[in-house]
Structure 1
Amino acid sequence: MTISSINTPAAHLSGFILTRQAYDTKQGIELSFWLKSHNGVRNFLVKHEKAVFFVEAGQQSKASNLLNDNNVIVENIKPVPLKTFGQVPVVAVYFSTMREFYRAREILKTHDVKCYEDDFRPEDRYLMERFITASAHFTLADQQSLTAGQRKSRFPVHLVHKSRAIPAEQTLDAIRLSMVSLDIECSMKGELYSIGLYSENLNNQPLKKVLMIGSPNTFAKSKKLNDKQASDIETNIVWLSDEQTLLKTLIEWIEVNDPDVFIGWNVIQFDFALLQKRCDLYGINFTIGRDGRAPRWRKNQNSEQQFIDVNGRIILDGIDLLKTATYNFPSFSLDYVARELLGLAKKVDDVDNRIKEITDNFHHDKLALAAYNLEDCRLVTLIFNKTQLLDFAMLRAQLTGLTVDRIGGSVAAFTNLYLPKLHRAGYVAPNMGDGLQGLVSPGGYVMDSIPGLYKNVLVLDFKSLYPSIIRSFNIDPMGMIEGLNDPDNAIEGFDGALFSRDKHFLPDIINQLWLERDKAKKEQNAALSQAIKIIMNSFYGILGSTVCRFFDPRLSGSITKRSHELLKVTKSWIEDKGYKVIYGDTDSIFVHVGNDKTPDECKSLGEVLQHFINDKWQAKLKADFDIESQLEIEFETHFTQFFMPTIRGLEVGTKKRYAGIVIKNGQQALIFKGLESVRTDWTELAKKFQRELYLKVFNGEEVTNYIIDFVNKTKNGEMDDLLIYRKRIRRKLDQYVKNVPPHIKAARLADEINNKANKPLKFQNKGWIEYYLTTVGPQAKGYVSAPLDYQVYVDKQLATVADAILPFIGTSFSEITDAQMNLFN
């Protein structure tokens, strides 16, 4: 992410916002923005800022009396040209300190005085009201105010003229943020051993450094590294005498080398949290901010998750950021993700017992520990590069105004984009719970499926259906209020909703994002395209979420109920042309077009149906609503072979579960949706069996010998490496009381063994477990003492998979296996 060069006088500076803070000072609220500019990092200060919320004009007198009676210092209360969604005028209540702002808010709420927009921090509101997202253009105050002696910072500090900040123009070719991967190694008790630091380009050169407690003379020759590896890693080690020196050296290194971004794996919850604890233990000030301040820590009220604010630096956790970017893995351990994305693995021999091995390496093979420490850092960097995570985070910030390190934040992103527009239209934002209550909006429409084996199934998919509905029907929070006030100039929604034809913001926001995404696709900017897609697709969920201040079931219902109508009508149009719709799900329709068509004929027909449906919707929306359709259905996939199963034990078709074959680059590709092959709670045995069996069925091959052979190999122990179940332990073990599933039984048994052997307990506090089913029940991997129960695997895994598809070719698993058994009776 970069910011363009702007030719402005010296009193004007632009940059990408790294961090933002607000402080109470003797002179009032001071806002601090740290920016990366073409001329380096700078700190911009906005002094004498005000915090504000709003109360209804009719409650102004009551509010004033309550605040006076409680000695709350109010800067000002004055009327503003704003009103609530209920058309009630409001007054603004201003404060010179956040302390008084928070006091006033609590007092008024306690006495039933409703406060509007009382959950915005001044630094966020300052940017939001100026339409600034992540890059800002500041007009500076007199240079005489900028003496370095007034601030304990080696960075240029600039005072900003009141309200003189605007969004900066941006391109994607200039500013880059420096990124360092950090990883610590420690004992079970949290005693630090080493700190790894890695970067591909810090201050124009690569970085490989391990801060290690010990000395060159305290280790023997490495048993795990060859001579060259040992020699190479030794050059990257800085030997330190003790833990206090290690911490002080890290703080000094950060100040000298000055990275913009730290990345890591669980780096906030573990690495930085432990560094803070160890600094606190020794009375060391953890001054890693660019202004020499220590971090500020916050906790999620509903969980134990911690957040860190470091002035002028961004801390990004790879796990959180991958999830925000919609990546999904059965496990988010570094070892698993590195294997999946990079084909690489960690350097520790025993991942399950890595702490023990790390401790052993610290005492007996420090070079091996340093190599392991540095490799963890490198793997995180490679994952960030592979997935463009930093670019994604910066682009998301640029699009929405969220801080770069914000986790989730869909509601906040929407509010950032929407609120300043709402104010300019004369409204304050509603509070949570202000929307209509009692209605329930449905989810996406899922048709009843017609089970069977098919040839030539076409999938037609509405492109970004929910955003398209918002654009077409002008669905918008303020637009609904305006539409209800002026029904003659409104588009009808559902549940009594009416949407203004000309007073709205959300459709225009989506239109702009849509254009930006099309541009990103043309430029092959995957990170930007993904960021925009996530933002656009989140808007329906936001409007349907009770934790959003704009929630109203008439909004979400007007989206989902319209989508139901769209799929049902589209289905009828297709069937009127003589084709069979066998399934539909949210935004997709599956059409069986006959067994006798060639791939070219299917492709041509898919395109014909695509144009036919789009033309029909354009005409219908014009005729029924006098609006232009923004709906666009696309011919997406041609399944040459397709299978829609029944619900297990019934003749009714399933939903969200199917399999089929498509042709990619002249080769068959097997696709599964919702079936065992793509589920994490089935063994690799079932997945391998399903893939191979389905492929044979689709290609019309004989399956009897294959099934018998697979069963025999399973029972003979030839498939043992595929028999592992992998499940997440979602609660502490002692919290499973009434229903104790197999993986919990395995975990308890394993930790009983660990306890008797005086080994650390591995499964008490959530996490993942791998286990087998044995003749005496489930036993964890590494703790198996009984024979594997092959018959259970055959009955519960193989038979279940096979009997989903075999009835459609006139047989069953029991018929095939029983016939085999009869040969020996």
Structure 2
Amino acid sequence: MPKDELDKIEEPEEEEVEESSEEYIQESAITAETPTSTPPSILIDVTYDGKAGKALVKLYDFMNDRIYFWYDNTGHKPYLITDIPPDELVTNYKSILRLKGFDHIDTVVKFNPLELKSKTYTVVYAKDPLTIGGGRESIRDIIPRSWEARIKYHLSYIYDNGLVPGMFYRIENGKLTPVNVDVPGEIQKLGEELYANDEEYLKAFREWLPLFQAPVPPLKRIAIDIEVYTPQENKIPNPKEALYEIIAIGLAGSDGLKRVLVLRRPEILMNADDQGMLLSDDVEVMFFDNERDLLREFFKTIMAYPILITFNGDSFDLTYIYNRALKLGFRKEELPIILTRDGEARYVLGVHIDLYKFFNIRAVEVYAFGGKYSGGEKTLDAIASALLGISKVEREKPISEMNYIELVNYNFRDALLTLYLTTFNNELVMRLIVLLARISKTPLNDVSRYQVSAWIRNMVYFEHRKRGWLIPNKEDVVNAKGSVATKAIIKNKKYAGAIVIEPIAGIYPNVYVLDFASLYPSIIKRWNLSYETVRCPDEKQANDPRNRPVPNLPHWVCSNMRGLTSLLVGLLRDMRVYVYKKLAKGDKDPRQRDYYNVVQAALKVFINASYGVFGAEIFPLYCPPLAELVTALGRLAITRTIIKALDLGLTPIYGDTDSLFLYNPSKDKLEEMINWVKDEMGIDIELDKAYRILALSGRKKNYAGILQDGSVDMKGLVGKKRNTPDIAKDAVKDVIHLFSTISSINDVEKVTEAIKERVREYYVMIRNKDVPLDKLAVKMAINKPISEYTKNTPQHVKAAELLGKYGVKPGPGDIIFFVKTTTREGVKPVQLARIDEIDSDKYIEYLRTSLEQILDALGIPFENIVGSKLM
């Protein structure tokens, strides 16, 4: 079974984990240069070197193509903070003094943002991160009250030293020094004009501007993909066991390297003229007689690059390589790969970026790429097809049965697609990762793996340390701020969310969509919302009615200090809207415009996710009243806007969170409303989309439209689910294509009839069982031994049990291809099924559920197409 099948099945919803001080510790015999002086280099990673007992900073000198290691020489140590005085600590908690990793105790004055006053705290230092927290006996477990004890050490080191991953540093006489960035005067002037009357914002603007003006240099990198021999076609090799041979490793470098390392196998022959059959003539194929030599060459090759790129490398490629190398006799110390306890595969010399995890980050998917690959499988093939327009090599036989040329072509294309995902659009993805690292103060490795809430946490923590603020525990915030006052309408939500105006079903020409520009970030800035300002402990502020932005909510906001979140979110929002969006459109140099467009995309990812984290229990600064105020003010803003639209004689036909759909509005009335919103509420609203034709169903968040440029825009498709059979997916594609042919309202009836006829054809094909079995197959993975499915037996497991009767013993990791049947079990493996056994009704139901939202938007009931009797 090829690794891409693993990609199809393993699609977890990546959830944030509680912050923990358990640190990834780098211990390897492999090292890089450690010079006392270097040219400007980009900071790509910060970690903790267990052997040296110090923080390790990794720098890449892109001009001379060298990786440098810099070890901390400032004496920085892991620590936690407590309010227990030193003498009481020594008297009552003597056991911490006896810990091998204990170092010393000191005091520090910190500003407590929940109490809004400075206090003296005790700082307990340790010699290593595990002594603070994570070991069998840690200081965190002994002391009853502590703060900042769960922050990973490499992040704490970044905060304390003001380091910005992705920025330029040089080593000068052994000291790590930031490199100054020249900022054009005209861009400085934009901030001075924007914040002419606000010195605090202007100061912050000047501090942040170099992060965006510093160029993102070309980062040399290599993308890899492996193929593993398996005795069964539907068997996914277990990367932890690594039982089978690695038969090919594809390597594609940003410097032009094109290479495939191939293991010779006696059963595979190569003809003299096979070289001419390679899809890429310049691919170098290297053959090896044994796997150990192949891996040795692989390790040698990747260590010439600072960045290693994979697609699902954490879960498969690098984990498999690591465990396979150990089986072949390699020692851990000589491997350039380290596996962590939380499932990451780290690259010792530089950074490993797993694109599978990066593209699965919801904020990246939605805000950076506009949902181009949303709703379906997050496989390499699906994402590459959506973003690059290039697909994988079609596979007509099992990997293990391919000849050398077929194997090389298949393997190298995967490596090349992985590389191309970081090079298209002038290196958009790599630039985006670097800029996100700068904004969040998070190493590239972490940025590519964790959801946006972790980035926002790191950014906010960095600013706390810079200001000398105590970082509170989550329970401190919750206890100080209290709970919410509204009830959620949506299940599993904790407070009333956004307002949605019911759509008026129909097909409309000339529909304009007005969109509040960064509505929630604008609200956070406009009303000074931050966890320390909302429900602050100042009684005078609490009793002032001017500090209650929503009269029917019992929440107040301090107005005598600027909230940290308000400052950060407001600044980033302003920099995107008033600086980088303008520069992306106006700069004469197309390369510079491209770069500014990446900057504004990175800022968009941050600001659009900034509100939600404070309403998520997993977020360490979880503050329900803050999140409740944001949504309440959002509801107020869109409600007032709709009332104004009606006053102006405009016709709203739908409204959703921060968007308002208007039917056939006049341009002067649109202009008047846009100006009113800005003047009355201090929030920008702008024209977002203009539809030539828009079909609204009666469902929320479900419509189909053709924009003025002729492109199709659909919301609410369900036909992309990964377990949907291909027959239903094909039907969805055909319907969308037919819909795209509508050029005016006069075409609607004709195209609607064509859609009905096409859907009817699919219905008849299924009803008459005139469909290839592979088009009906459902793919699902077995996650545990068959014997452990005791309480209930899922359909794919029933199919697997039928395979067992024929000598095939499926187990964890195997993919079962099965079809729905009228037999006693209700399913059969594809290998054992006959077309006459297919349960047509089940597949007609797949067809209905996949199409009904699109058909609803067009006013076409599915039953009317195929007849009222479906079963």
Band the TM-score falls in, shorter-chain normalisation: 0.7 to 0.9
SS at match of 1:500: coil
1:152 is matched with: none
- Aligned AA (1:17): L
CA 1:389–1:767 in structure 2 vs 1: closer, same or farther (change >3 Å)?
A: farther
Normalized per residue, the structure richer in strand is: 1
CA distance in 2, matches of 1:589, 1:432: 36
- Aligned AA (1:564): R
1:662-673 equivalences under 5 Å are 662-664=707-709, 667=710, 669-673=711-715
CA 1:68–1:391 in structure 2 vs 1: closer, same or farther (change >3 Å)?
A: same
Whether 1:785 aligns to 2:830 is no
Once the two structures are superposed, what CA deviation does each residue of 1:776-818 show, in whole Å capped at 9, x if it has no partner? Answer: 8555656541335556655774599579968997x96666766
1:358 is matched with: 399
2:321 is matched with: 275
CA 1:713–1:297 in structure 2 vs 1: closer, same or farther (change >3 Å)?
A: closer
CA distance in 2, matches of 1:31, 1:566: 48
1:160 is matched with: 175
CA 1:539–1:112 in structure 2 vs 1: closer, same or farther (change >3 Å)?
A: same
SS at match of 1:480: coil
2:133 pairs with one of 83, 102, 108? 102
CA distance in 1, matches of 2:569, 2:816: 40
2:580 is matched with: 519
1:428-577 equivalences under 5 Å are 428-434=470-476, 435=478, 436-439=481-484, 440-480=494-534, 484=538, 487=541, 491-493=547-549, 494-500=553-559, 502-517=561-576, 518-519=579-580, 521-522=584-585, 523-525=593-595, 526-577=597-648
- Report if aligned partners of 1:733, 1:765 keep a CA contact under 8 Å in 2: no
2:223 pairs with one of 181, 193, 197? 181
Once the two structures are superposed, what CA deviation does each residue of 1:177-201 show, in whole Å capped at 9, x if it has no partner? Answer: 2111222222236333334243344
Structure 1 stretch 169-178 or stretch 425-434: which is displaced more?
Answer: 169-178
1:22 is matched with: 48
CA 1:471–1:82 in structure 2 vs 1: closer, same or farther (change >3 Å)?
A: closer
CA distance in 1, matches of 2:248, 2:514: 52
TM-aligned CA deviation for residue 411 of structure 1: 3.0
CA distance in 2, matches of 1:420, 1:685: 49
Whether 1:118 aligns to 2:149 is yes
- Aligned AA (1:175): P
TM-aligned CA deviation for residue 62 of structure 1: 3.8
- Report if aligned partners of 2:779, 2:818 keep a CA contact under 8 Å in 1: yes
Whether 1:128 aligns to 2:168 is no
SS at match of 1:238: strand
1:623-772 equivalences under 5 Å are 629=682, 631-646=683-698, 654-664=699-709, 667=710, 669-676=711-718, 681=724, 683-684=728-729, 686-687=731-732, 690-691=735-736, 692=738, 699-701=747-749, 707=756, 711=760, 714-715=763-764, 720=771, 724=776, 744-745=794-795, 747-748=796-797, 750-759=799-808, 761=810, 765=813, 771=819
1:596 is matched with: none
- Aligned AA (1:50): K
TM-aligned CA deviation for residue 756 of structure 1: 3.7
| Higher normalized contact order (CA 8 Å, seq sep 6+, divided by chain length) | 2
CA 1:773–1:663 in structure 2 vs 1: closer, same or farther (change >3 Å)?
A: farther
Q: TM-score, normalised by structure 2?
A: 0.74
CA distance in 2, matches of 1:84, 1:60: 26
1:378 pairs with one of 398, 416, 421? 416
- Report if aligned partners of 2:483, 2:625 keep a CA contact under 8 Å in 1: no
CA 1:656–1:426 in structure 2 vs 1: closer, same or farther (change >3 Å)?
A: same
Whether 1:247 aligns to 2:287 is no
- Aligned AA (1:211): L
- Aligned AA (2:497): G
CA 1:193–1:576 in structure 2 vs 1: closer, same or farther (change >3 Å)?
A: same
- Report if aligned partners of 1:130, 1:165 keep a CA contact under 8 Å in 2: no
CA 1:32–1:433 in structure 2 vs 1: closer, same or farther (change >3 Å)?
A: same
SS at match of 2:294: helix
2:60 is matched with: 36
TM-aligned CA deviation for residue 586 of structure 1: 1.0
Once the two structures are superposed, what CA deviation does each residue of 1:463-515 show, in whole Å capped at 9, x if it has no partner? Answer: 11111111211112233366846616974345413143542222332344235
Once the two structures are superposed, what CA deviation does each residue of 1:566-601 show, in whole Å capped at 9, x if it has no partner? Answer: 1111111112223332321111112234xxxxxxxx
- Report if aligned partners of 1:676, 1:687 keep a CA contact under 8 Å in 2: no
CA distance in 1, matches of 2:507, 2:797: 44
1:148 is matched with: none
Query: Unpaired segments of 5 or more residues in structure 1?
Result: 1-8, 143-158, 301-305, 594-601, 622-628, 647-653
SS at match of 2:80: strand
TM-aligned CA deviation for residue 736 of structure 1: 7.0
CA 1:815–1:348 in structure 2 vs 1: closer, same or farther (change >3 Å)?
A: closer
Once the two structures are superposed, what CA deviation does each residue of 1:365-402 show, in whole Å capped at 9, x if it has no partner? Answer: 33432333222212222233236322222221122221
CA distance in 2, matches of 1:817, 1:410: 45
TM-aligned CA deviation for residue 116 of structure 1: 0.7
Query: Unpaired segments of 5 or more residues in structure 2?
Result: 1-34, 182-209, 231-241, 366-372, 485-493, 586-592
CA 1:510–1:768 in structure 2 vs 1: closer, same or farther (change >3 Å)?
A: farther
- Aligned AA (1:19): D
CA 1:105–1:60 in structure 2 vs 1: closer, same or farther (change >3 Å)?
A: farther
CA distance in 2, matches of 1:272, 1:385: 22
- Aligned AA (1:410): V
- Aligned AA (1:41): I
2:260 is matched with: 210
Whether 1:335 aligns to 2:381 is yes
1:587 is matched with: 658
1:309 is matched with: 346
Structure 1 stretch 391-400 or stretch 726-735: which is displaced more?
Answer: 726-735
- Report if aligned partners of 1:184, 1:192 keep a CA contact under 8 Å in 2: no
The share of aligned pairs that are identical, in percent, is: 17
- Report if aligned partners of 1:263, 1:380 keep a CA contact under 8 Å in 2: yes
2:237 is matched with: none
CA distance in 2, matches of 1:378, 1:417: 34
CA 1:694–1:193 in structure 2 vs 1: closer, same or farther (change >3 Å)?
A: closer
Once the two structures are superposed, what CA deviation does each residue of 1:318-344 show, in whole Å capped at 9, x if it has no partner? Answer: 211222331536223333434444444
CA distance in 2, matches of 1:532, 1:749: 49
CA distance in 1, matches of 2:798, 2:753: 39
CA distance in 1, matches of 2:171, 2:395: 56
- Aligned AA (1:160): K
1:396 is matched with: 436
- Aligned AA (1:660): G
Whether 1:45 aligns to 2:71 is yes
Once the two structures are superposed, what CA deviation does each residue of 1:417-448 show, in whole Å capped at 9, x if it has no partner? Answer: 22343345453011122223432433322223
Report how many aligned residue pairs link the two structures. 734
CA distance in 1, matches of 2:138, 2:253: 53
What RMSD, in angstroms, separates the aligned Cα atoms of the two structures?
4.2
CA 1:729–1:642 in structure 2 vs 1: closer, same or farther (change >3 Å)?
A: farther
CA 1:728–1:459 in structure 2 vs 1: closer, same or farther (change >3 Å)?
A: farther
CA 1:261–1:329 in structure 2 vs 1: closer, same or farther (change >3 Å)?
A: farther
